[in-house]
Amino acid sequence: MTRFPTKHFNRTYHATAAALLAVLTGACGGSEPGLVRGELLFDTCSPCHGDDGAGKQSLGAPAIAGGSGWYLSAQLLKFRGGVRGYHHTDDEGLRMRPMSRALFDATGDIESVVEYVVSLPIPDPPSTAEGGDVEAGEAEYLALCANCHGRDGRGDETLQAPSMLHLNDWYIASSLRKYRDAVRGARGDGFEANMRAAMTGVTDERIDNVTAYIMTMQRLPRKAAAPPPPPLPPIDIDPAILPEEVTVAMVEEGQQIFNTGTGICFTCHVREGVGGALAPPLIDDEWLNIDGEYESIVQIIMDGVQEPMEYPGMMQERAGMPLTDEQVRAVAAYVFTLSR
Q: Which of residues 35-64 bind ligand HEC (CB under 6 A)?
A: 41, 44-45, 47-49, 59-62, 64
Binding mask 173-212 for ligand HEC (x = CB under 6 A): --xx--------x-----xx-xx-xx-----------x--
Please state the closest distance from residue 260 (CB atom) to ligand HEC, in A: 10
Residue 228 DSSP class = P
Taking CB under 6 A as the rule, does residue 27 contact ligand HEC? no
Give the binding range for ligand HEC (CB under 6 A) out of 26-34, 215-223, 239-247, 260-268: 260-268
Site for ligand HEC in 240-259 (CB under 6 A): 258
Give how many residues touch ligand HEC by CB under 6 A.
Answer: 73
Which residues are within 8 A (CB) of 85 and not within 5 positions of it... i.e. 6 or more apart? 79, 93, 94, 95, 96, 97
Interface residue with ligand HEC among 112, 147, 209, 337 (CB under 6 A) is 147
CA distance 85 to 108: 23
Which residues are within 8 A (CB) of 252 and not within 5 positions of it... i.e. 6 or more apart? 235
Contact 238, 218 (CB under 8 A): no
Nearer to ligand HEC, 93 or 123 (CB): 93
Binding mask 295-314 for ligand HEC (x = CB under 6 A): --x--xx---x--xxxx-xx
Query: Distance of CA 12 to CAs 15, 90, 176, 241, Å?
Result: 5, 25, 34, 74
Taking CB under 6 A as the rule, does residue 336 contact ligand HEC? no
Contact 257, 334 (CB under 8 A): yes
Taking CB under 6 A as the rule, does residue 70 contact ligand HEC? no
Please state the closest distance from residue 81 (CB atom) to ligand HEC, in A: 12
Give the binding range for ligand HEC (CB under 6 A) out of 4-12, 14-22, 240-248, 264-272: 264-272
Nearer to ligand HEC, 186 or 248 (CB): 186
User: What torsion do the CA atoms of 164, 167, 170, 173 make, to the nearest 10 degrees?
Assistant: -10
Interface residue with ligand HEC among 123, 280, 329, 338 (CB under 6 A) is 280
Q: 3-state class of 154 per DSSP? A: coil
Residue 239 DSSP class = G
Q: What is the 3-state secondary structure (H, E, C) of 54-78?
A: CCEHHHCECCCCCCCHHHHHHHHHH
Please state the closest distance from residue 239 (CB atom) to ligand HEC, in A: 21
Taking CB under 6 A as the rule, does residue 138 contact ligand HEC? no
Give the binding range for ligand HEC (CB under 6 A) out of 26-34, 125-133, 245-253, 277-285: 277-285
Taking alpha carbons only, the member of 159, 190, 160 closest to residue 261 is: 159
Taking CB under 6 A as the rule, does residue 33 contact ligand HEC? no
Interface residue with ligand HEC among 33, 38, 50, 93 (CB under 6 A) is 93
Taking CB under 6 A as the rule, does residue 21 contact ligand HEC? no
DSSP codes, 119-133: HSPPP-PPP------
CA distance 175 to 155: 16
